[in-house]
Amino acid sequence: MAIGAKLSTVKRLLAAGLSLALVLTACSDDGSDDASTSTTSASAESTTSAPTATESLDDDLRLNEIQAIGTHNSFHQPLEAGEMVLLSDLDEQQAAQRTYRHQPIGVQVADQGIRQIELDVFVDNEGGLYASPSLRRQAGLPDLVETHPEMAEPGTKVLHEQDVDYRSVCPTFVQCITEIAEWSDANPDHVPVAVFIQYKDGPLIFPVDDQAVPEKWVPENMAKLEAEILSVFEPDDLITPDDVRGDHATLEEAVTTDGWPTLGETRGRVMFATVNGEPYRSLYLEDHEGLAGRLMFTNAEPGQPDAAVLSVDDPLAEPGRITELVEQGYLVRTRADSPNEHARTDDTSRRDAALASGAHWVSTDYPAQGMAEADHGTDYVVQLVDGLPARCNPVTAPSTCDDDRIEPTPPASTDGSG
């Protein structure tokens, strides 16, 4: 694989340095020749012994052999009460699906063990296109720029639906991914974080006055989105299609034959992928055949040359479909629940099917204890055992895999409090 294992190398060097420091300390504290010889001998054995359990796992386990929890619409915040009344008047059922809430992105990755984020993105080349939502004006609230001046600036914005469901823990794309980057820099041993992008440029389903008309996601704007990614991350921080393809003719050939890079080669990195299919896939591929030179993976169909990272939303719709794709070598994202439906009724059937399917990222609106109880009075939650950020994939992981060795430091808490 083309990806280097620079982080693993650094860790080994640090470990060797620590062992040497312990030797010197032991020698200086004990004047006995026997003690000095004994300590030096023991330290020499430790520095020449086999790699640690985690290092061995890093060398043997591949990226498609783990499973992690993600969040759906990771940026989403519900409307204020007055706005929600107006939205319910337009469509009560749709309004009821938009009450879920998430903690800031940095809290999700640090404290909730989330390793997959989803962001809905809107083009805003001039700035201010989404700064004065219609529903907000109707509710008598001040313009959004008073509390979020960044909404007046050019750059990609993150929200669910313009004018009606716009509240976000990070209104700009750069702000969202900066929170990931800052946490990643401080925690370089983490398993890769996947950021799924959903392009938004369509009309509203709600009939509100003075709707903002989104700018289209054309190749030029997709290139600007990539530039925003590179304004936050260095190229070596990313897992890209070129990295995974290596010397293979196509990306699909790479992942279905040699497979994905090892965990050791990808620790501390971030990968970007798109949720949308056509026509966005073809637009992103324009002048970049097979994703050559691109930063993000596309949501292609199996059999297409760029097929590698797939989204299959409902694990119950086609029983066995996700497992089949996973066994073929694709990385798959699925969803454990639909907004407020499964949490409200404490229905775990879809969640359990998603986890058992071998999907590599299982996305939810309820990743922490107490979230569903606060909203619906149920115990519904989507977590791995002991709140681990990742575990051995139930379909692809080898028998030597150990959940506790996949990511060295578990999240600080799983209560969502941050």
Q: Inform me whether the pLDDT recorded for 31 exceeds 60.
A: no
Are 323 and 254 in contact by the 8 Å Cβ rule? The answer is: no
Which pTM was predicted?
0.86
Averaged over 111-125, what is the pLDDT?
A: 97
pLDDT tens digits for range 213-233: 999 999 999 999 999 999 999
| Beta-strand relationship, 270-274 and 238-239 | parallel
- Both structure tokens of 125: 């080349």
Q: Inform me whether the pLDDT recorded for 17 exceeds 90.
A: no
Please give the mean pLDDT across all residues of the chain: 86
Q: Inform me whether the pLDDT recorded for 10 exceeds 50.
A: no
Q: Inform me whether the pLDDT recorded for 13 exceeds 60.
A: no
What is the distance of C-alpha 275 from the center of its chain?
12
Sign of CA dihedral 416, 61, 312, 357: negative
Query: Among all chains, which residue has been given the structure tokens 């097979």?
Result: 290
Please report the DSSP string for 76-112 in residue order.
B-PPPHHHHHHHHHH-HHHHHTT------HHHHHHHS
pLDDT tens digits for range 334-346: 999 998 889 989 9
- Looking at residue 54, its pLDDT comes to 57
Averaged over 145-172, what is the pLDDT?
A: 96
- Looking at residue 340, its pLDDT comes to 80
| Beta-strand relationship, 157-158 and 116-122 | antiparallel
- Looking at residue 56, its pLDDT comes to 65
Burial environment of residue 207 by CB neighbours within 10 A (0 to 12, 13 to 18, 19 or more): exposed
- Looking at residue 404, its pLDDT comes to 92
Q: Inform me whether the pLDDT recorded for 48 exceeds 90.
A: no
Are 255 and 330 in contact by the 8 Å Cβ rule? The answer is: yes
- What DSSP state is assigned to residue 262? B
Averaged over 66-76, what is the pLDDT?
A: 97
Query: Among all chains, which residue has been given the structure tokens 């083009």?
Result: 123
* pLDDT top residue among 258 and 21: 258
- Looking at residue 55, its pLDDT comes to 63
From residue 167, alpha-carbon distances to 92, 120, 163, 285, 373 in Å are 18, 12, 10, 31, 22
- Looking at residue 373, its pLDDT comes to 85
For residue 263, the SS3 value is helix
Q: Inform me whether the pLDDT recorded for 39 exceeds 80.
A: no
Q: Inform me whether the pLDDT recorded for 412 exceeds 70.
A: no
Q: Inform me whether the pLDDT recorded for 169 exceeds 90.
A: yes
Q: How confident is the model at residue 194 (pLDDT cuts 50, 70, 90)?
A: very high
